[in-house]
Structure 1
Amino acid sequence: MMSRQSISLTRPNDEWLKAQVDSEEYTSKSEVVNDLIRRAREVEEIRKKLIAAEESGFSDQMPEEIRDRAKARLKNAAKI
């Protein structure tokens, strides 16, 4: 179930939304807005992970070890 919202847009933002729909990349303004929100949420998650990584300090692992562990995690995630 989707929640309905009413929002006010500036003319340039409304024209941009219309252009996205006119380009047939999206079928409605709502679809554009939902996609923008999804992308903003993804960026927020990446930002949180970067902050956590930065706060975790330095690693005593060699770059090759870090790379190999990351590749192994990606392979395992792809299997799921």
Structure 2
Amino acid sequence: MDIEFPRYERNEACRRIDLEFVARFSGAIPSREEVRAELALISGADPAAIALDRLSPRAKKGEIRGKGRIYDDPTAMKAAER
């Protein structure tokens, strides 16, 4: 899976990175967990500290567009997310 980041901004007040991404894949559409694991691998973050908002798969194009947040740690995520 290849991932590009049209938007990747640090939000110091919330201790997170706000991002939009486009993931390209071949074969079956990746699950949310597979996307989360790939983002964790790229960013070096704990997968438990990654929140994915929306994933829009486009199977015929072989891509997923998504939005999410990567927190500094799972505690910061639990404090901010409901």
With the length of structure 2 as denominator, give the TM-score of the two structures. Answer: 0.20
With the length of structure 1 as denominator, give the TM-score of the two structures. Answer: 0.21
Per residue, is there more strand in 1 or in 2? Answer: 2
- Name the structure, 1 or 2, with higher relative contact order (CA <8 Å, separation 6+): 2
Per residue, is there more helix in 1 or in 2? Answer: 1
